[in-house]
Amino acid sequence: MELQTNTNTSPSFFIQCCHQTKNSVSRHRELVFSIAGGLFLLVAYVLERWDLASGSIVLLMYILSYAVGGYYKTKEGITDLVSDRSLNVEILMILAAIGAASIGYWGEGAILIFIFSMSGALETYTWQKSERDLSRLVELAPNEATVLDDDDTFHVISIEDVEVGDRVLIRPGERIPVDGIVLTGETTVDESTITGESLPVAKTDGGEVFNGTMNGKGSMTVKVTKRNSDSLFQKMIQLVQQAKSERPPTQQWIEKVEGPYVIVVLSFVALMVIVPYFFLGWNFQDTFYRAMVLLVVASPCAVVASVMPALLSAISTGARNGILMKGGVFLEQLSKADAIAFDKTGTITTGNPEVTDYNVADSVDEMEFFAAVTAIERQANHPLATALVEFCEKQVDGLLPEVSSIQDITGYGVAASLDNSETEGEDHAVDWTIGSVGFMERDRDRLADWWVEKQKKWQAEGKTVVYVARNGEVVGSFAIKDQIRETAKETLAELHKLGIKTIMITGDHEATAASIAREAGVDDWISESLPEQKVQEVEKLKEKYASVIMVGDGVNDAPALAKADIGIAMGSGTDVAIDTADLVLMKSELDKIRLSLRLSQRMNRIIKQNLVFSVSVILLLIAANFAQTLTLPLGVIGHEGSTILVILNGLRLLKA
């Protein structure tokens, strides 16, 4: 028997697994420490409750619960105090826990630490998901370029060493490494990373190309017009980085309120120590006891729990319904939006062009016509060709003619010869050409008036016109259009009822943008916008409206998604758009925006309920403490009981 070795058990495999486990633990270390602190608390409680160990062992378990569970929050509080000289809620938590322990209530202090550290760990984990790096976007930018010397010899150099004026050779299928002007060659370029449009653009002498776009089947020589750092693609990366670094308004408000809140509480605690002892004749033990009760009941655990469980429950409900939310703060802001900007292709439309209209001349048999178009376009890889094949093959009933020769005319269309021996009754070839308006006008003075009239009508409707000629005579034409998503009109109508302004921002020309906007029911539209301009348009909208949402699916949408108050990406979109956005519609269903808005409204109502309740309980407990009717155990019970209630209230959001 031959002994076989499983390669997955090699040392390198185990090392890789160890590294992955180590990285995972490192990313979630704060959560691990919080859970570990909770376990020490549980052990201490069990040992103390059933008298299973000596008091020193129980005390050791409580100390470990303090040290492990409160490590990160203590470190955060001390770091801010030392480096920024600012007080925060972490400092208050530390003092409250220490105060509880100083008068013998270790368990109550450990519970405070556990709840506060757990909420902080979950909040950190949520924010980590919303702050993914831009590695996938950066990977799209080429690192090297093939530069031609004066004697036409070439050598590969780093993209950073390419200078303005250099000549760069770009081979078929390569990603273009520079911004420049085409000197020689004919090809098509997929510019979806820049414009978001799926249709390749023809490039000939004098055409402009951009870094990060994908070359088609032809080769070309390009003269560099911008250094890499100034290229359009690199600016997109910079815009995303800049926009993602901006803190949301809610986070700024929390940071602004946090310091004053801690100062107020500490000031009241200090007054509780000084005033009764020096002015009311209390003994120091009673005075210190009341001050510690105040420090415990004023701890903001219930206030913090008012938000996080509700946010996490809403996030979980959204995930079950195909809505990925990268942070609760974005869901909180969602219902505040009064304007939503949409990209067109792949967002309002499906991103898959389809044939909407056609004309066939009386001089040709329709069956022959559709069979010829199907046979020719089956051999092409262009999105328009795919649309033509999907449409025409449904009209064909029988065998397709044999394509004896075919030529791809870059940027225009195709020319082919078909063997029509079966349909014509004799053995001879028929020449067919399929392509754009420019393709047909190139070989003739003008098209017949009735073809042109139909062409203008279709173009006014935002459709792309493709002509078909047989033996030099135009015999048919197609109108191809990217279709509106089935749920787009209903979703937009619902948004209008909610009083939300809808705007479409697209790189399309004005006629197409206007047509799609009217058909979909968008309030307004902005056409011919490159990525930089999309960001500027979003900035203008933010100046006009209180909160702006941007919905898109392409790399070119990433800067605008990041710049908006909330970015929503379609799940069928690019990885970069998904990584950059704050919310992702996993099934690319626009109607999920309505569900997101309703979920946000519910969540905000529950958070307000929780905040009012938790603050009211804290004020009530503080008043009871001043009246000297509240003991420390009752203070902890009231404080932690309010925390449990607001958590349970937040968990109601688990039900859609």
The candidate with the shortest Cα–Cα distance to 538, out of 132, 242, 212, is 242
Determine the Cα–Cα distance for residues 440 and 552; give it in Å rounded to an integer.
35
Instruction: Please give the structure tokens belonging to residue 177.
Output: 């490494």
Is 431 labeled as catalytic in the residue annotation?
no
The candidate with the shortest Cα–Cα distance to 569, out of 560, 587, 581, is 581
**Element housing 616 (H / E):** helix 592-626
Residue 355: how many CB atoms within 10 A of its CB?
A: 19
Residue 12 DSSP SS3: helix
Neighbour-count burial of 472, counting CB atoms closer than 10 A to its CB (0-12 exposed, 13-18 middle, 19+ buried): exposed
Determine the Cα–Cα distance for residues 634 and 475; give it in Å rounded to an integer.
90
- Cβ neighbors of 106 (< 8 A, separation 6 or more) are 44, 59, 62, 66, 100
Instruction: Please give the structure tokens belonging to residue 240.
Output: 């995303």
Residue 3 DSSP SS3: coil
**DSSP sequence for 85-130:** ----HHHHHHHHHHHHHHTT-HHHHHHHHHHHHHHHHHHHHHHHHH
What b/e readout covers 555-587, taking b as 16+ CB neighbours within 10 angstroms? bbbbbbbbbbbbbbbbbbbbebbbbbbbbbbbe
Determine the Cα–Cα distance for residues 349 and 76; give it in Å rounded to an integer.
47
Please name every residue paired with 408 in a beta bridge, in sequence order, or none if there are none.
Answer: 414
Task: Read off the DSSP letter of residue 556.
Answer: G
Task: Read off the DSSP letter of residue 164.
Answer: T
Angle among Cα 509, 512, 518 to the nearest 5 degrees reads 130
Q: Give the chain's count of helices (H) and strands (E).
A: 26, 22
**Which residue out of 179, 343, 482, 582 is catalytically annotated?**
343
Determine the Cα–Cα distance for residues 222 and 17; give it in Å rounded to an integer.
46
**DSSP sequence for 449-494:** HHHHHHHHHHHHTT-EEEEEEETTEEEEEEEEEEEEPTTHHHHHHH
Instruction: Please give the structure tokens belonging to residue 518.
Output: 């009217």
CA 386 to chain centre: 29
What is the length of the chain? 656
Residue 114: how many CB atoms within 10 A of its CB?
A: 24
Determine the Cα–Cα distance for residues 177 and 168; give it in Å rounded to an integer.
9
Please name every residue paired with 405 in a beta bridge, in sequence order, or none if there are none.
Answer: 417
Residue 527 DSSP SS3: coil
- Cβ neighbors of 240 (< 8 A, separation 6 or more) are 134, 137, 558, 559, 562, 580
Q: Which residues are catalytic?
A: 343
